[in-house]
Amino acid sequence: KDNKNQNLRCPIVCVLGHVDHGKTTLLDKIRKTRVAKREAGGITQHIGASEIPIDVIKRLCGDLLKMLKADLKIPGLLVIDTPGHEAFTSLRKRGGALADIAILVVDINEGFKPQTVEAVNILRQCKTPFVVAANKIDLIPGWNSKEGPFILNFNEKAQHPNALTEFEIRLYENIIKPLNELGFDADLYSRVQDVTKTVCIIPVSAVTGEGVPDLLMMVAGLAQKFLEDRLKLNVEGYAKGTILEVKEEKGLGTTIDAIIYDGIAKRGDYLVVGLPDDVLVTRVKALLKPKPLDEMRDPRDKFKPVNEVTAAAGVKIAAPELDKVIAGCPIRIVPKDKIEEAKEEVMREVEEAKIEVDDEGILIKADTLGSLEALANELRKAGVKIKKAEVGDVTKKDIIEVASYKQSNPLHGAIVAFNVKILPEAQKEIEKYDIKVFLDNIIYKLVEDFTEWVKKEEE
Ligand code: GTP
Ligand code: MG
Ligand code: NA
């Protein structure tokens, strides 16, 4: 391995934007994957992660890299995909806070939408620098879109004058103007003089691949520059991370998929996990790395065992007692003498993320802390009272608990459950106590179905 670059930190790039503006499809184009097409309801509902190695970036950028006046020294980019649906504010905030740099994806034809504005405000709050990927340029009337650098396709030879005019209008009206209104100077990236003062806009098409080299070149160049400016290039200390998913793996038992956003994780060190009412300390049995360009949530390939993982990276961790942990929880991977410090850190983080509940109401369940929070927020917005919010499958105990809620108010005899299972033992109890269980893998459908049921019951 290249010793010189061993401690060079891989920048975290968060992809944010309004629902369906093309975040996942854009990453699919870069990775040559098809994640977007397999998502329930066509929307992203979790945080995803994938690594783009530097050689892939260099290959895709080709001669464009000469536009950067520096050599790329970063080992690659760790890209975090986030959901654009309004329910997932907490995941966008988490992604925005983790990131060194962000890509704000905006459909150039639709322009700024509520979650675009929300994303800009999150980035402003976190002081995260960002570029804009002005997506779906292939849909500009008359635009002749083709794979490769945008900059080579943006001239009178390649485009009809009307298409160029239409492009300029959309670029200004739908992207530059709304950014100005939010207090940001912005321009087409090739016209930007000072990247620290003006937001760079890179026109792209996630469908044709046009502009992907320009986007990668700018993001890699800027990420390196910002990291250098902040002297954050070297990785030191123990690993800090967050759990994306808890998964059964053949031969390994229960494992967690996590993002390590800072520090170094070592096999044999102690894994400290902050749980809602507890802290778990266990020993790391194995660290496994996903293949480059694989989306961790939907990998094409097997994970590879390693002794050490340096931030930023996605990693699968095997350790005893992981069946107790839940997605969304904070983690640390530390040597023995740092366990107490790590415990305090994760407990503080968990406390800050707790969901508030009402004196009376329904029970809600979800697969991760992030989706539970999203579900709670969406139900609240619809005026629904929540007595208890928990991560996990629907159990017999849940049904018996809700049966007691129902006695004081029939409309509270319900469970709203996102992306979990109803355990077989619970099924009989559901019938016995006549409990209404709403189960779906699309958050907004759950909220709709539940509020419709309440309306009918009230009539
Ligand atoms: P959420 O994660 O749910 O917020 O959506 P997203 O931003 O990840 O968008 P997604 O990748 O799911 O794409 C939404 C739709 O837009 C899909 O039907 C894509 O095929 C389509 N789409 C994405 N990018 C482009 C593009 O550049 N051109 C065209 N024509 N369609 C696109
Ligand atoms: Mg998506
Ligand atoms: Na989508």
Q: What's the CA dihedral at 132, 135, 140, 144 to 10 degrees?
A: 110
Whole-number Å distance, alpha carbon 85 to ligand 3 midpoint, is: 8
Contact yes or no for 92/16 (Cβ under 8 A): yes
The whole-angstrom separation of Cα 99 and Cα 12 is 5
The token duo for 342 is 């790590």
Contacts of 169 (CB under 8 A, 6+ apart): none
State in Å, rounded, how far the first CA of the chain is from the last one: 69
In the block, tokens 């459909």 appear at 107
Q: Which atom of ligand 1 is nearest to the CA of 27?
A: 11
Question: CA angle 301-218-12, nearest 5°?
Answer: 50
Residue nearest atom 18 of ligand 1, based on CA coordinates: 20
The pLDDT, as a whole number, for residue 91 is 84
The whole-angstrom separation of Cα 187 and Cα 185 is 7
Does ligand 1 come within 6 angstroms of the Cβ of 139?
yes
46 backbone dihedrals φ, ψ, rounded to 5°: -145, 170
Whole-number Å distance, alpha carbon 442 to ligand 3 midpoint, is: 12
Residue nearest atom 23 of ligand 1, based on CA coordinates: 22
Whole-number Å distance, alpha carbon 189 to ligand 3 midpoint, is: 26
From first to last of its 459 residues, the chain has per-residue pLDDT tens of 344 444 568 999 999 999 999 999 999 999 999 999 999 999 999 889 999 999 999 999 999 999 888 889 999 999 999 999 988 888 888 888 889 999 999 999 999 999 999 999 999 988 899 999 999 999 999 999 999 999 999 999 999 999 999 999 999 999 999 999 999 999 999 999 999 999 999 999 999 999 999 999 999 999 998 888 776 667 889 999 999 889 899 899 999 999 999 999 999 999 999 998 899 999 999 999 999 999 998 899 999 999 999 999 999 999 999 999 988 899 999 999 999 999 999 999 998 878 889 999 999 999 888 889 889 999 999 999 999 999 899 999 999 999 999 999 999 999 999 999 999 999 999 999 999 999 999 888 999 999 999 999 998
Q: Which numbered ligand comes closest to the C-alpha of 25? A: 1
The whole-angstrom separation of Cα 104 and Cα 362 is 36
Does ligand 1 come within 6 angstroms of the Cβ of 138?
yes
The pLDDT, as a whole number, for residue 368 is 86
Total residues found in the chain within this entry: 459
Q: Which atom of ligand 1 is nearest to the CA of 137?
A: 27
Give pTM, 2 decimals.
0.88
Q: Which numbered ligand comes closest to the C-alpha of 16? A: 1
Q: Can you list the positions of beta strands (E) in 121-238?
A: 130-135, 185-188, 198-203
Question: Ligand 1: which of 20, 81, 109, 210 to mutate, judged by most atoms within 8 Å of the beta carbon?
Answer: 20
Q: Which atom of ligand 1 is nearest to the CA of 18?
A: 4
Does ligand 1 come within 6 angstroms of the Cβ of 316?
no
Q: Is 440 helix (H, G, I), strand (E, B) or coil?
A: strand
The pLDDT, as a whole number, for residue 7 is 58
Neighbours of ion ligand 2 (CB under 5 A): 23-24, 44
Does ligand 1 come within 6 angstroms of the Cβ of 94?
no
Does ligand 1 come within 6 angstroms of the Cβ of 233?
no
Whole-number Å distance, alpha carbon 85 to ligand 2 midpoint, is: 9
Contact yes or no for 128/14 (Cβ under 8 A): yes
Residue 88 one-letter amino acid: F
Which of 447, 347, 367 lies closest to 47, judged by CA? 367
Query: How many Å separate Cα 167 from the centre of its chain?
Result: 30
